[in-house]
């Protein structure tokens, strides 16, 4: 083990900067929650500021325009999703090392966990932004770039988690199609609680995916 | 064959009623196109009326509120999608009768055609409504009921088209999961043209689905 390093002089904490960072983070999290619950139309800077317990002036200091706030919120969504996926990956790897071997039952569990990433608040917020970005040109380019980055990262994680070998022809598309299914299942959960149906679909498709990854076409 | 019936007296065509129906249809189609292109926020009754070439007064005569207009437009989307699916079904059945037998290549083609239903204007409009209905309570109940109806009809069509036997355990969930994937592929196409990737995913998953339907788990 390496000894803990003493913090460099520039990293000394500045209480004012800390407060500013905390305010910024509260605004971003409020923006994500607002988007997920109330959609784009009702998610104004004023509504987000009130939810965050921040003055409108302070909100506008951090994010001069509505687009700035929600673009930064997309970044925040992306970072949170990434962190959740990384944490999941580490846990799964530890469990795999303890079990020493992978089996079909494990793939079924992994498929369920990956699908769950598309049914929470982060997916709801991302979906709202995705849909609005389809006709809001300025937002569109930024969100498209972000989504491409998230898509690549999610794919990489899924490949690692599932222990898939992308050198085998078809395996890359098998994993991609599975993530498209997960996205579709997330969308099906937006209007009504779709859990019962989703659980049955996940159980069936986890078996199909497991076969496809073991005996690729 | 039964002989054609003479129309009852009340069905005699009324030019004024015909014009009214045509106006109504123009408004519904303009509403769907507006939603798909510009999203909910910018799709006001005034914008739709202008696009349809109808006075705002006439639009408000047909649809007193914005919710009335877009709820009716959802109905219209549902009917159009249904008609498209039925036409597809008839064509496919005719082709199947000509070929006299089904094979793997046919399932690959059918999977592509079913996925294409989720990449056009109707899906874009439905997606906008779906997402808005998730936080607009009044719209929510109506759209949820409609989507459930469309979902059941789409599933029934897919089962018929693919020649799937739902009495076999797992087959129902295989078809459901495939339609979730198609929905996810539609969503992936909203921000960027995803055709090249989608074609590869469809080719791979058509083979996997064909196996799953022939040798169910």
Average pLDDT value for residue range B162-191: 94
pLDDT, one tens digit per residue, over A169-183 is: 999 999 999 999 999
pLDDT, one tens digit per residue, over B122-153 is: 889 889 988 989 988 878 888 888 888 888 88
Average pLDDT value for residue range B78-83: 74
Residues in B closer than 8 angstroms to A217, CB to CB, are: 204, 207-208, 211
Domain of residue B119 covers: 67-214
Shortest distance, CA B4 to any CA of chain A (angstroms): 44
Mutation pick from B33, B35, B174, B181 vs chain A, by most beta carbons of A within 10 Å, is B181
pLDDT at residue A57 in the model: 94
Average pLDDT value for residue range A183-205: 94
Residues in A closer than 8 angstroms to B200, CB to CB, are: 173, 176
Residue B215 has pLDDT above 80, yes or no: no
Q: What is the signed CA dihedral for B24, B28, B30, B36, rounded to 10 degrees?
A: 180
Instruction: Please check whether residue B189 lies inside any domain of the structure.
Output: yes
pLDDT at residue A11 in the model: 58
Lowest mean pLDDT among B79-88, B97-106, B161-170: B97-106
Instruction: Please check whether residue B25 lies inside any domain of the structure.
Output: no
How many separate domains does chain B show? 1
Shortest distance, CA A7 to any CA of chain B (angstroms): 43
Shortest distance, CA B56 to any CA of chain A (angstroms): 23
Residues in A closer than 8 angstroms to B34, CB to CB, are: none
Mutation pick from B134, B169, B216 vs chain A, by most beta carbons of A within 10 Å, is B134
More confident residue, B4 or B26: B26
Residue A109 has pLDDT above 70, yes or no: yes
Length of chain A: 217
pLDDT band at A69 (very low <50, low <70, confident <90, very high): very high
pLDDT band at A1 (very low <50, low <70, confident <90, very high): very low
Instruction: Please check whether residue A89 lies inside any domain of the structure.
Output: yes
pLDDT at residue B100 in the model: 60
Q: In terms of CA atoms, which chain B residue is nearest residue A183?
A: B184
Nearest by CB to residue B131, choosing from A127, A192, A208, is A127
Q: What is the spatial distance between Cα B59 and Cα B69, in angstroms, rounded to a whole number?
A: 9
- Are residues A41 and A35 in contact, defined by beta-carbon separation less than 8 angstroms? no
More confident residue, B184 or B135: B184
Q: In terms of CA atoms, which chain A residue is nearest residue B38?
A: A135
Shortest distance, CA A83 to any CA of chain B (angstroms): 22
DSSP 8-state secondary structure symbol assigned to residue A216? -
Instruction: Please check whether residue B54 lies inside any domain of the structure.
Output: no
CA angle (B76 as vertex; B75, B81 as ends), nearest 5: 100
Instruction: Please check whether residue A4 lies inside any domain of the structure.
Output: no
Shortest distance, CA A173 to any CA of chain B (angstroms): 5
Q: What is the spatial distance between Cα B166 and Cα B175, in angstroms, rounded to a whole number?
A: 9
Contact A134 B181 (CB under 8 A): no
Q: What is the spatial distance between Cα B22 and Cα B30, in angstroms, rounded to a whole number?
A: 12
- Are residues B106 and B163 in contact, defined by beta-carbon separation less than 8 angstroms? no
Residue A116 has pLDDT above 50, yes or no: yes
Average pLDDT value for residue range A27-47: 92
pLDDT band at A187 (very low <50, low <70, confident <90, very high): very high
pLDDT at residue B3 in the model: 52
Instruction: Please check whether residue B2 lies inside any domain of the structure.
Output: no
Q: Across A130-134, B4-8, B149-153, which has the greatest mean pLDDT? A: A130-134
Beta-carbon contacts below 8 Å between A and B: 138
- Are residues A175 and A155 in contact, defined by beta-carbon separation less than 8 angstroms? yes
Beta-carbon contacts of residue B96 (< 8 Å; ≥ 6 apart): B102, B106
Instruction: Please check whether residue A82 lies inside any domain of the structure.
Output: yes
Question: Can you give the CATH number for the domain in which B162 is found?
Answer: 1.10.357
pLDDT band at A10 (very low <50, low <70, confident <90, very high): low
pLDDT band at A199 (very low <50, low <70, confident <90, very high): very high
- Are residues B154 and B85 in contact, defined by beta-carbon separation less than 8 angstroms? yes
Lowest mean pLDDT among A77-81, A162-166, B23-27, B201-205: A77-81
**Coil, strand, or helix at residue B208?**
helix
- Average predicted confidence (pLDDT) for chain B: 85
Contact B134 A143 (CB under 8 A): no
Mutation pick from B70, B74, B131, B197 vs chain A, by most beta carbons of A within 10 Å, is B131
Contact B130 A38 (CB under 8 A): no
pLDDT band at A60 (very low <50, low <70, confident <90, very high): very high
Through-space distance between the first and last CA atoms of chain A, rounded to whole angstroms: 46
Instruction: Please check whether residue A144 lies inside any domain of the structure.
Output: yes
Residue corresponding to tokens 């009214």: B20
pLDDT band at A209 (very low <50, low <70, confident <90, very high): very high
């Amino acid at each position: 083990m390496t000894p803990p390093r003493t913090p460099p002089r520039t990293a000394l904490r500045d209480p004012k900067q800390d407060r500013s960072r905390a305010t910024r983070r509260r605004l971003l999290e409020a923006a994500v929650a607002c988007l997920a619950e109330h959609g784009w139309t009702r998610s104004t800077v004023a509504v987000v500021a009130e939810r965050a317990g921040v003055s409108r002036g302070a909100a506008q200091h951090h994010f001069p325009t509505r687009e700035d706030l929600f673009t930064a919120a997309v970044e925040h969504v992306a970072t949170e999703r990434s962190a959740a996926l990384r944490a999941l990956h580490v846990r799964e790897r530890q469990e795999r090392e303890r079990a020493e071997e992978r089996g079909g039952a494990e793939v079924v569990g992994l498929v369920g966990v990956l699908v769950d990433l598309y049914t929470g608040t982060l997916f709801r917020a991302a979906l709202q932004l995705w849909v609005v970005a389809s006709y809001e040109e300025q937002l569109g380019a930024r969100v498209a770039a972000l989504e491409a980055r998230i898509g690549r990262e999610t794919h990489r994680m899924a490949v690692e988690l599932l222990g898939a070998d992308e050198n085998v022809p078809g395996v890359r598309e098998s994993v991609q199609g599975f993530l498209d299914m997960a996205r579709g299942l997330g969308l099906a959960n937006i209007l009504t609680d779709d859990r019962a149906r989703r659980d049955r679909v996940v159980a069936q498709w986890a078996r199909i995916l497991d076969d496809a990854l073991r005996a690729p076409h």
